[in-house]
Amino acid sequence: MKQSPVIVIGGPTACGKSGLALAIAENFDGIIVNADAIQVYRDLRILTARPTEDEEKRIPHRLYGILDAKESCSAGTWQALALKEIENIQNIGKLPIIVGGTGLYLKALTEGIAPIPKIPLSVRKSVREFYSEVGKAEFYTQFTKKDPITAARIQPNDAQRLMRAWEVMEATGKSISLWQEEKMQSPNLKFTMVVGTPLRETLYAACDKRIFNMISDGVLEEVKALMIRFQNEKFNNLPVFKAIAFKEFSSYLAGDTTLDIAITKAQQQTRRYAKRQMTWFRNQTNIDAGNKKRNVKVLKYSYLNHDKIISDIS
């Protein structure tokens, strides 16, 4: 296999991306790089389905568990980290394998990203404090006056995107929508993107099974530890608390619901998240002229058969 194409593995949660990444890495002397927005955090290894310690011993992994729960990681920040990892991996003659279900990260990597300046921490802090003070409804109302174009593109309950857009406007005096219309900074790389598109019934069954496996693997103890750490602080807007099923399991641990109900709701949320991911990947990875211009070759599979995919990318 030529070294130049970077392997990218995308698709919905629980479709088998991590297992495929391991198989490809073992066959082609690769190093796996995380492209999941929650798996960048050290906390919640089980809940976020991060690779196990044994898997990390089998194959080198990068950008997993690198941030504290209090830190943030934008698509731009992740892209810069990922590009550096890709460069380092290629410099030592190995194959970079990017794997994750965060579509925005993968899009930033393969298409480039708008050159938005770094936002000062003071601005980020003040925006988050203001959001906590006025609440999501009033925050959205005021944001629509501040940046009506961007507000029309963001759901009122999407706190992370709203605060990010406000930060950009506050720090730069320019709408994030205008920044995004500027020429993208496209990396000079070629990509082979492997996308899992499983049948819905198969995917949903895998989602349900994953939640049961998490229970036996100790996810409740993991969630409890994070709850204890932040019990006297208000960090509800931190990305790590948006991890799928955290709300459901933390509600059980707080005594607000039963374990059976928490499991059922966690499975529902996981299936809904997987459905949203499927929709995103279906809309974003069509094999068309646009992908060819971006130097992205897209391969879609309803089942991630390791041997077939390894043969196809060889």
CATH at residue 298: 3.40.50.300
Q: Are 88 and 168 members of one domain?
A: no
Check whether residue 173 and residue 245 sit in a common domain: no
Range(s) of the domain holding residue 196:
5-113+184-313
261, pLDDT greater than 50: yes
Last residue of a domain, one of 132, 147, 181: 181
Say yes or no: 274 and 223 in one domain: yes
What percentage of the chain exceeds 70 in pLDDT? 92
- pLDDT average, residue stretch 287-298: 61
Cβ atoms of 63 and 82 within 8 Å: the answer is yes
| pLDDT greater at residue 273 or residue 2 | 273
219/89 same-domain check: yes
Comparing 4-13, 74-83, 107-116, 289-298, the range with the smallest average pLDDT is 289-298
Residue where a domain stops, chosen among 129, 162, 181: 181
Q: With 90 as the cut, is the pLDDT of residue 295 above it?
A: no
Indicate the pLDDT class of residue 287, thresholds 50, 70 and 90.
Answer: very low
Residue 31 one-letter amino acid: I
Does residue 88 sit in the same domain as residue 128?
Answer: no
Above 90 in pLDDT, residue 70? no
pLDDT score of 292: 52
251 and 212 in a common domain: yes
The predicted-structure confidence for 149-166, as pLDDT tens digits, reads as follows 999 999 898 898 999 999
Residues 57 and 204 in one domain: yes
* Predicted local distance difference test score (pLDDT) of residue 233: 63
Q: Is the model's pLDDT at 291 over the cut of 80? A: no
**How large is the average pLDDT for residues 19-38?**
98
Q: Are residues 197 and 289 in the same domain?
A: yes
Beta bridge partners of 144: none
Q: Copy the structure tokens of residue 289.
A: 């002229």
The residue among 161, 181, 201 that closes a domain is: 181
Question: 77-109 pLDDT, tens per residue?
Answer: 999 999 999 999 999 999 999 999 999 999 999
- What is 258-305 written as a DSSP string? -HHHHHHHHHHHHHHHHHHHHHHHHHH---SHHHHHTTEEEEEESS--
CB 112 within 8 Å of CB 83: no
CATH code, domain carrying 140: 1.10.20.140
What total of structural domains would you count in the chain? Answer: 2
| pLDDT range class, residue 220, cuts 50, 70, 90 | very high
Average pLDDT, the chain: 91
Instruction: Give yes or no: residues 99 and 131 share one domain.
Output: no
The answer on pLDDT for 76 being more than 90 is no
pLDDT score of 288: 42
Same domain membership, residue 214 and residue 194: yes
What is each CA distance from 130 to 121, 138, 232, 260, in whole angstroms? Answer: 14, 10, 19, 37
For 88, the enclosing helix (H) or strand (E) is helix 75-91
* Among 109, 295, 108, CA closest to 192: 295
Same domain, 69 and 138: no
pTM above 0.75, yes or no: yes
Question: Within this chain, do residues 170 and 240 fall inside the same structural domain, yes or no?
Answer: no
Instruction: Tell me what pLDDT residue 290 has.
Output: 47
Least confident of 32-46, 151-165, 269-283, 286-300: 286-300
> What is the 8-class DSSP label of residue 174?
S
